[in-house]
Amino acid sequence: MTLWTGIGLVSLAVWLYMLVARGGYWLARERDDGVIAAPMRWPAVVAVVPARNEADVIARSIGSLLAQDYAGPFRVVLVDDGSIDGTAAVAQGVGGSVEGRRRLDVLAGTDLPAGWTGKLWALEQGIRHATATADAPDYFLLTDADIGHAPDNVSQLIARAEQDGRVQVSLMAELSCASPAERFLIPAFVYFFQMLYPFAWVARRGRRTAAAAGGCTLVRRDALERAGGIAAIRSEIIDDCALARRLKAEGPIWLGLTRRAVSLRPYGGFLKIGGMISRSAYAQLGYSPLALAGTVAAMGLVYLVPPLLALLAEGPARWLGLSAWLVMAITFLPMLRFYRQSPLWGLALPVIGAAYTVFTVQSAIDFWRGRGGLWKGRVQAMAGDT
């Protein structure tokens, strides 16, 4: 057996494992499709929305929350995190036009304390405000300012949480996928996330795997308090998954794909999306150079070796490369279907994987240059050490 045949065997073995033993992540079956029966009672919910310079989308986001058809007590708290574009004024204008159907509180955020990321400090302030009165909520809906919600989204989140006894129910919002760069990178972003955190394993009570999508996550107030609150994760860059790990220790959680929550802001071109990915990629590796080197090597073996063998090798090595490439493409098809993209994008997954490898290396370089986790003018990586 030649060296290249052996490498081809390893690559194919990895993809066969992904196909049959990685929690069925690629099937994308964990979704909030359909309608869940109403619970016996509708508990009180407060949506907490951190916002920093979101004037272009905040009217649609807050408007979608204020238009919820939720039958129980529900109000919205927006925390303006030092915006300079009139975000708070736009939100207040939306709140005033709803004619009192839902209550909207707009708070001016205070200065960022040492050791906190901006988003988490804003969430902390919103939660404190929501619990300062005697009518503290049963649940918090933690949602980003650029997410739009279908009218029944809160009802269905609560119905799932109450039916299954979940302490956290999170939705991976449908992301913008219109521009060429978005079609190239966005379906793969969700695909890779599912690969890292198979949603079926997240939902399984006996599994340690825990993850959430920070754009739309419902949490039980009492479970959050037992887990130490937002303060327990105050310096985390990947805060949604950090919170999920703590909450899963308190009870079962769930994460799924959705069309009920959608991203309102397009991601733009290749470099802008790359910057979004680079912001947290090195944090995912624990800021470890060894983990970075291992990741680059693994990405090369898993994504680049199959097409290289298929196109350049001969004999068994070529067939092994072709087989691995085919399995790779097959695993991408359900996500492409969810995002209404051509199945031919599956054949491009090696090139997409190479792009994500570059973004990961760039994330490490940004961190070494003191610009890790840069978001809206703030360098947030390793915030707990500053």
What is the rounded CA–CA span in Å between residue 256 and residue 168? Answer: 12
In a domain, 379, yes or no: no
**pLDDT for the residue numbered 313:** 93
| Residue 171 and residue 75 in one domain | yes
| In-domain check, residue 238 | yes
Q: Of the candidates 67, 113, 107, which has an alpha carbon nearest to the alpha carbon of residue 83?
A: 107
Indicate whether 175 belongs to any domain: yes
Q: Are residues 49 and 124 in the same domain?
A: yes
Q: Which of 211, 245, 270 lies at the terminal end of a domain, its last residue?
A: 270
- Are 54 and 166 part of one and the same domain? yes
CATH number, domain of 98, equals 3.90.550.10
Between the CA of residue 172 and those of 32, 134, 137, 164, 189, what are the distances in Å? Answer: 10, 32, 24, 19, 11
Largest CA distance in the chain: 75
Does a structural domain hold residue 385?
no
CA 171 – CA 166 distance, rounded (Å): 13
**Residue 54 shares a structural domain with residue 96:** yes
- Alpha-carbon gap, residue 136 to 126, rounded angstroms: 12
Provide the 8-state DSSP code for 253: E
pLDDT value of residue 205: 93
Overall residue count recorded for the chain in this entry: 386
Check if the beta carbon of residue 190 is closer than 8 Å to that of residue 175. Answer: yes
Last residue of a domain, one of 240, 270, 300: 270
- Give CA angle at 260 (45, 201), nearest 5°: 85
Question: Mean pLDDT of successive 10-residue segments in the chain (386 residues)?
Answer: 91 97 97 94 97 95 96 96 93 73 88 93 96 88 97 98 96 96 96 97 96 96 97 94 97 98 93 90 93 96 96 95 98 98 97 97 92 67 47
Q: Do residues 64 and 130 share a domain?
A: yes
Does 332 lie in the same domain as 183?
no
For residue 217, the cross-strand partners are: 142, 170
- Judgement on whether residues 322 and 357 belong to the same structural domain of the protein: yes
Do 20 and 68 belong together in one domain? no
Same domain, 12 and 136: no
- Residue after which a domain boundary falls, among 243, 270, 297: 270
Tell whether 378 is covered by a domain.
no
- Taken in order 39, 43, 47, 48, the sign of the CA dihedral is negative
Question: 380 in a domain, yes or no?
Answer: no
Same domain, 75 and 211: yes
State the first-to-last Cα distance of the chain, in angstroms, to the nearest integer.
53
CB neighbourhood size of 27 (10 A):
16
Q: How many domains does the chain have?
A: 2
Whole-number Å distance between alpha carbons of 224 and 226: 5
Same domain membership, residue 191 and residue 306: no
Beta pairing partners, 31: 257
Helix (H/G/I), strand (E/B), else coil: 323: helix
Inside any domain, residue 383? no
Alpha helices in the chain (DSSP H): 3-21, 58-66, 87-97, 118-130, 153-164, 180-196, 199-203, 221-226, 239-248, 270-284, 289-299, 305-312, 315-338, 349-368
Q: Which domain holds residue 122?
A: 27-270
Whether residues 285 and 305 fall in one domain: yes
* Phi, psi (deg, nearest 5) at residue 214: -65, -15
What is residue 136's predicted lDDT score, i.e. its pLDDT? 87
Q: What is the pLDDT of residue 370?
A: 85
Enter the DSSP assignment of 292: H
**386 domain-assigned:** no
Q: Which amino acid is present at 167?
A: V
